[in-house]
Structure 1
Amino acid sequence: MQYKNMEIIDVIGIDVSKLTLDCCIHKSGLQRGFANDPEGIGKMIKWSLSKSKVNKENLLFILEHTGLYSDRLVESLDRENYLLKVVSGLEIKRSLGIIRGKDDKADAKRIALYGYRTREEGVLVKLPGSTLVRLKRLMSLRRKLVGQRAGHMATLKEQKKVLEEDALLFWVQEDIINLLSWRISDLEREMDKLLQSDQELKEMMELLVGIKGIGRVTARFLIVYTAGFTSFGSWRKFASYCGIAPFPHTSGTSIKGRTKISRLANLEGKSLLHQCAIAAIKSSPEMKAYYERRLEMGKSKMSTINIIRNKLVARAFAVIARGTPYVNTMGYFS
């Protein structure tokens, strides 16, 4: 659904939680809470149309993406062809600033304000297909299991250093680690199966892993969190979402700070891209040469790694946009 050329007269900001939908009509400031279930969603839509006194085609609903809790609301609004914008909490915080504390009514008001300020920034809203939705849920579970396994491995390593032999204590934890490894493998096989079953996603995966440094885990992350490369207008916006886009830190003649990256980020994406950058330096002669040349010039190691992270994101978006594999031009001159 594209609303770029439509006139947005008013905006409904919605703060979504597990049980409730806290709504705010921007212009009037009216607020009300509804149950986060089919009946509550229906009542919320009727209330929004009635109290805003705006026609359906001129009313924009905006909410933060909260995964499982917002899926039903998004599907309902999309099914009825309401104007809809789903944004990340990071995007709103960057625009309006971080507010201390947590209050659902205040959050709904902030979301409505953000939606009204950006109402003319029309975007194509495309809901992820069922394959992408399932992939994201499997990825979320995999991430939790990987974290649990890492915790057990670290504990076991420390215990073996300081404790005397305790066969049962060590065996139980080793068994848990093995079980988690099996289940992680099960999830990865299912995710690969899903990607193979969708021709478009399969082609995306092949293009992404063709870029030196980007592996299957990061490729899946890129595909899912960009909704098949449809939810970000450019690679720079996605880099900003992952917290790797550098921002200037200057003001007049008095402040001449170093260019910095934002602390607001999707930390999983930031970590994955960091690992990719390290892998690219090791596996790609081009990236290795670039990295070493920067260090010889006296540039910092971390700033250089961050540039490489951005290069990888740019290449990922480029190969998907072109539909052709990445070509290492350095190879033609070696």
Structure 2
Amino acid sequence: MTSLKLRHRPPGLDWAVVVANKLLFHYQSSNDQKGIESFVKHLKQQYPQASFDNSLYCMEHTGIYNNHLLNFFQDKRANSWVEHPIHIKESLGMIRGKNDKVDAQRIALYAYKNRDEARLWTARAAPTQAGGHSKVGPLDSHS
């Protein structure tokens, strides 16, 4: 399980990787192609058996801020799960303390605990402009 928490100040990503219900590592990257690729490289170093086929990437729905992550995962045919933040929060009960690193870990543990109910994200067709194409349209998930 890999989860990500998008940070707004400073902008970036907090990644948490959980294997067998245990935190393997936490990683921070920029919220762009270079940052995402740096995480993937670090993941391969820390856990060589990880692949896009056998991993689940869970994140909170944050609107357009998810789009380039979802484009990257779509290109890699990775298993992506975009969950409503309220579902994650309600599943954890009352919690004290909050920061992006802890949130990333909580999302990863939520994903591990609920992996059998994961709704994988798929892109819906979005209108294109003449001569161009659109990759990520509105969010959609299926069971």
- The TM tier, using the shorter chain, reads 0.7 to 0.9
Residues in 2 aligned to 1:124 and 1:60: alpha-carbon distance in whole angstroms: 9
Indicate yes or no: 2:81 matched with 1:85: yes
| Structure 2 counterpart of 1:251 | none
Q: What amino acid is the match of 1:20?
A: G
Residues in 1 aligned to 2:94 and 2:75: alpha-carbon distance in whole angstroms: 33
Q: Deviations over 1:189-212 (max 9, x none)?
A: xxxxxxxxxxxxxxxxxxxxxxxx
Q: Deviations over 1:82-122 (max 9, x none)?
A: 11111110110121124244300000000000111111224
Contact 1:25 1:52 survives alignment (8 Å): no
Indicate yes or no: 2:141 matched with 1:231: yes
| Structure 2 counterpart of 1:55 | 50
**More relative contact order in 1 or in 2 (CA 8 Å, sep 6+)?**
2
Residues 110, 124 of structure 1: alpha-carbon distance in 2 compared, 3 angstrom cutoff: closer
Residues in 1 aligned to 2:124 and 2:87: alpha-carbon distance in whole angstroms: 19
* Percent identity over paired residues: 31
Q: Deviations over 1:295-331 (max 9, x none)?
A: xxxxxxxxxxxxxxxxxxxxxxxxxxxxxxxxxxxxx
What residue ranges of structure 1 are gaps of 5+ in the alignment? 1-10, 132-223, 234-334
| Structure 1 counterpart of 2:38 | 43
Q: After TM superposition, which residue ranges in structure 1, 4 or more long, deviate above 6 angstroms?
A: none
Q: Deviations over 1:217-276 (max 9, x none)?
A: xxxxxxx6xx5xx5366xxxxxxxxxxxxxxxxxxxxxxxxxxxxxxxxxxxxxxxxxxx
Residues in 1 aligned to 2:16 and 2:68: alpha-carbon distance in whole angstroms: 19
| Structure 1 counterpart of 2:122 | 126
Instruction: State the TM-score, normalized to the length of structure 2.
Output: 0.77
Instruction: State the TM-score, normalized to the length of structure 1.
Output: 0.35
* Structure with greater proportional strand content: 2
What residue ranges of structure 2 are gaps of 5+ in the alignment? 128-137
Q: What amino acid is the match of 1:231?
A: S
Indicate yes or no: 2:104 matched with 1:108: yes
